[in-house]
A and B are shown apart, each in its own frame.
Chain A
Amino acid sequence: MKHTPLYQAHIDSGGKMVDFGGWEMPLNYGSQIEEHHQVRNDVGMFDVSHMTAVDFKGVDAKKFLQTLIANDVDKLKTQGKALYSCMLNEAGGVVDDLIVYYQDDENYRMVINAGTTEKDIAWINAQAEDFDVSVEPKLDLAMIAVQGPNAREKVFAAIPGIEDVAGELKPFNAASLGGLFIARTGYTGEDGFEIMLPEKSAEFTWKMLLEVGVKPCGLGARDTLRLEAGMSLYGSEMNDEVSPLEAALTWTVDLSNEGRRFIGRDALEALKTQGVEKTIVGLVLESKGVIRDHQKVTTNLGVGEVTSGTFSPSMGKAIALASVPKGSEGMCEIEMRNKQVSAKIVKPPFVRNGKVLV
């Protein structure tokens, strides 16, 4: 199995290691629920070095990204500005979801998922043939996400000089400090930074963060946090066969520039004309039990399926994202362990910035 540069640090902190798409990663360091609360109430850190940064350089970099992804990088005008987008196939299905950071019109950085890295790179290279752009996966970068209401303060205390470049960063913006790339982004619904750094600096930086009191958190807490925040997970809410229009990600698809014929656009326009039949909604279970992935959901408009189900530590009840007929509302029935249980359909997010919203 593959190891990140922080593998030994996880073992030293008592990490319970599991196979995560070929990477041996920490599921938790004792209690994933405590780690969840740690991030909502204070600060925690995640090793996300298994994710991949890819740099795009060349005179055609902007033109290429305007073709490659469904959101429009033309929105990015200032250095370090970030944009969330899906990358689509010709049929409008999602190859991956990603964040792209702007440096200048000939220089962008993209962060893609770990499990899709090989597929993505092959896809991107195939599309890039006719463009003057170099595609450079930065496989030697480590990535640490520090998240929580006290994340900024702790990062500034742990890493000398970082406050000077990142102190004024607005959400969804990034800055550089030597070999560090610091983005005010995350996957938890809390404030914080995602820090990319050379792998040889990873363990030292992790220890500095530990020393100022940042607790390590595993993939278990990462999943409950992102689900409470209503954020999609590639492979669950969307995949190669689901379009962003069917996954409540229409806001990430920019059709405003008629002339920008990005890959998958024709299929999305055809789908719009024909009518989108399903979407992703949130579910809240009022009774005991935990909603699990792939359970059958029956709404007022028909049948759907749970795409991500879990127990919400912040709410003390089960929540889920589910793919259901578009327009479904009110109560629905979930088939759980051979029983029909009622759940309420809500609009995600469930929790953001420490507050329950549903």
Chain B
Amino acid sequence: MSEVRDDRQYTQTHEWILDNGDGTYTMGISDHAQALLGDMVFVELPSEGDEASQEDEFCVVESVKAASGVYAPTDLEVIEANEALDDKPELVNSSCYDDGWLVKFKAQAIDGLISAEDYADTLD
């Protein structure tokens, strides 16, 4: 069974978004997504200061099985990318909700996110 953390929200495309409470958000992919993709081998991240419009592909996670785009959930500005993933992309597998986060960004409120409970229901 995939783990769903109830301290954050989710997207229909299996990303999680954690509201840091100061106008910044942290984003990663869900346990369900990492399990489906399998062993991660590369993560392509944006740079600090990069801007993305809603629905832009702004990260790519690539596993032995497939490359998968990660899309901006809203208009945003990247404030930090998880550089540890350059050397250890497998953190996305082993710790998708903690050390395997992808980016931190600044944004206005984000619409259309799914609660942990509803997200867990979609996985049944």
Contact = CB atoms under 8 A, between A and B. Distances in A.
B4 to A, nearest CB: 20
Given A31-B93, A32-B38, A311-B42, 9 more contacts: A27-B38, A33-B39, A33-B41, A33-B64, A220-B65, A289-B67, A290-B67, A311-B64, A337-B60
Given A28-B38, A31-B39, A32-B38, A290 B44 contact: no
Interface residues of A, number: 14
A224 interface: yes
A290 B62 contact: yes
A32 B42 contact: no
A32 B64 CA distance: 9
Contacts of B66: 292
16 contacts: A27-B38, A32-B39, A33-B39, A33-B41, A33-B64, A220-B38, A288-B42, A288-B44, A288-B62, A289-B42, A289-B44, A290-B67, A292-B66, A292-B67, A311-B62, A337-B67
Nearest to B57: A337
Name the prevailing secondary structure of the A interface residues. mixed
Contacts of B64: 32-33, 220, 224, 290, 310-311
Interface in B72-108: 90, 93
A311 B44 CA distance: 15
B38 A289 contact: no
Nearest to A220: B64
A113 B39 CA distance: 27
Contacts of A32: 38-39, 64
A288 B64 CA distance: 13
Interface in A169-214: none
Contact of A290 (B42, B90, B93): B42
Contacts of A310: 64
Interface in A217-232: 220, 224
Interface string B26-43: 000000000000110110
Nearest to B64: A311
Nearest to A310: B64
Contacts of A337: 60, 67
A337 B93 CA distance: 23
A32 B41 CA distance: 11
Contact of A289 (B62, B65, B93): B62
Interface centre among B38, B39, B42, B44 (most CB of A within 10 A): B39
Interface in A304-320: 310-311
